[in-house]
Every structure is written in structure tokens, then in C-alpha cells.
Amino acid sequence: MPTSLVTGGAGFLGSHLCDHLLERGHRVICVDNLETGNLANIGHIRREEFRFLNLDITTHFEIDEPVDFIYHMASPASPIDYARLPLHTLKVGAYGTHNSLGLAKRKRARFMIASTSEVYGDPLIHPQPESYWGNVNPIGPRGVYDEAKRYAEALTMAYLRQQGLDTCIARIFNTFGPRMRPNDGRAIPTFLRQALADKPVTVFGDGSQTRSFCYVDDLIRGLVALNESGVHEPVNLGNPHEMTLLEMAEAVVELTDSRAEIVFEALPVDDPKVRQPDIARARDLLGWTPEFTVRDGLERTIAAATPRLEARESAVPAASPRPGGSSGPVAA
């Protein structure tokens, strides 16, 4: 039975990855300091093959058993998280990646870094192929995240080239699904929280900026295919179906049967205008393509969010306001 270690395993993507790897017959070690993750994301896992370690990976850490695969997912990932934790975001990208790569070397494990489409910045090429070097503002508010990931990619390549480590780089595009935090500031959970509470759905700018949203199950399948392949170069993983944020807001309002109106707010600094993965490499090297449409994914996400919301509503006295509904920042 192979053993996989998932850093950031109690987060949104990490917890789905733990589920998937266990289903696949792996033993799973989940490492997380719960900075933006939550034990509730892994609370349903009650299996001997699963182990949770509450560790901050920015300091040296050791694992007392063999490890075959490392999925390095730990990092603040939403714009409001890395705005709140700028130094931590840089430290996780640097020290956290160093420590995880060092562990991979000691264990002779295959290593995957969860990188991001944000390494392309506000792209001047569309759609974005892996060969594009990007257009990143290093000193803007998003710089701490974008540059941390670019550094983490450089570090991963240095371990591959100099240390002979077996590594790969997943460039993840916007992904959504159950377990996203309603207040994490990313577009879909914010729209959902607002629409389910019949409160104004806040779109930045005129909503014409585009994103490509991938359903979580597809993304996780891609991460595992990549880490179990022999590929070393970066691979884009995302759904190439591109839509404007206004179209996404309208779809959420429609699918939630919401009475919410859509309102517009100022664009954040350095908000990318377009975002669409070129997934030719993932298709050619891994045989991977996304299977869920955005609507299918949204329906599943809404179905998972609705019982929780109803439970919360029935727990508050009738005179209290409905949960959610404050117009927070929306980013993707």
C-alpha cells in the first residue's frame, strides 16, 4: 500500500485529495497547521490508513514512516488570506517548500508542488500555455502569493536538477466545489453565500473579466495523474471553459433560485483581466481532461451548501438576520 503525505490536507483541495487517495488504496498522512484549513473538512474520515499531524511546515518537520508521494498543497490561497498573511504566505512558499522538498529527498518520495495560474500574473497571452513566463507585479498586493509560488517552482526545479529529486509542478487554475469557506473572498463561495441569503451579489468592475472554473473532482483526478506520472515539467490543470464573472454571478443566482440582485464594486488592484488554461500538455502527457461542466459542478456545490445553511438557519431564533449576506470582497 503506497503512502501519500498531503501538506495542507485539512484545506479545501487538500481534504478532497485525502478522500481520493484513501479511495485509491493509499495510506494518507495529512499535515496541516489549520491556518486556513479546518478539522471539519477531514472529520468524516475514520480510517486506520489516515493520520493527521498538526504541524507548521515553515519549521523543519520529520515523519517517522516511509512516504512514497508528497502532495505539497499548504499555502494561503485566497486573496483575502494572503492579504491578511503576507509574510506567512512568503514563508510557506519558501521555507515550507524547502522543508517539504527536504523530506521528499530523505524519503525518496515523488514530490508535487501545487502551483497556480497566478504565476502568469495578468497574462498577455491567451489562453495561457506552460511556456508563457508571465506578467506578474512583484510589489503589488498579490505579489506575496504570485512570487512565493514562482519561487517554489524555481526551488522544485533546482531540487530536480541538482539533487536528482523526482518532482512535478501542477499549475492549478480556479477550482471550486464543496468545502470552500463561504467567507474566503473567492468568487464562487461569495456569490453562493450572498445568493442563498437573497443578499446583493457583488461583482467587481463591470464583471467582464474572465475566469475558467474547474470542478474539484476533476482537478483532484488531474493532480493524482500528474504525481503518478513521470512528468517533470509544469502542467496546467483547469477547465478551459472560460466565462465572465458576471455570467458566473448570473448562473449562481439562477441555480439557487435567489431573489438577489447583482451589484458592481470597484476592481481590486492587479485583478487579472483574463484567465484560461491551455491544457494541451495535460491532455497529451496525462490523458487528462475535465469532465464536469460548470453547471454540474455548481449544482453539486449548491447541494452540499444548502443543508448546512438550512441547519444554521434553523439553529438561530426567528428574529435573527439570515446568515451571510454582508457584501465582502470578491476575487477569483
Pick 36 or 239: Cβ nearer ligand NAD: 36
CB atoms within 10 A of CB 324: 20
Residues 7/8/10/14 CA torsion (nearest 10 deg)? -90
C-alpha cell at 104: 521528499
Contact call for residues 181 and 15 (beta carbons, < 8 A)? no
The least CB distance from residue 318 to ligand NAD, in Å, is 33
The least CB distance from residue 146 to ligand NAD, in Å, is 10
Considering only residues 155 to 174 of the shown chain, the ones binding ligand NAD according to CB under 6 A are 172, 174
Pick 216 or 260: Cβ nearer ligand NAD: 216
C-alpha cell at 193: 453565500
Smallest Cα–Cα separation from 72: which of 42, 43, 115?
115
82 in active site: no
Considering only 28, 57, 169, 309, the residue that binds ligand NAD (CB under 6 A) is 57
Considering only 29, 73, 160, 187, the residue that binds ligand NAD (CB under 6 A) is 73
Q: Does 36 bind ligand NAD (CB under 6 A)?
A: yes
- What does residue 83 show for φ and ψ, rounded to 5 degrees? -70, -35
Q: Where are the alpha helices (DSSP H) in the chain?
A: 12-23, 79-84, 86-91, 97-107, 143-163, 187-196, 216-227, 245-255, 280-281, 294-315
Q: Which of 71, 82, 145, 215 is catalytic?
A: 145
Q: Does 191 bind ligand NAD (CB under 6 A)?
A: no
Whole-angstrom distance, CA of residue 75 vs CA of residue 149: 9
Q: Does 32 bind ligand NAD (CB under 6 A)?
A: yes
The least CB distance from residue 73 to ligand NAD, in Å, is 4
Q: Does 330 bind ligand NAD (CB under 6 A)?
A: no
Q: Does 189 bind ligand NAD (CB under 6 A)?
A: no
Q: State the catalytic residues.
A: 145
Interacting residues with ligand NAD (CB under 6 A): 7-8, 10-14, 32-37, 56-58, 73-77, 92, 96, 114, 116, 172, 174-175
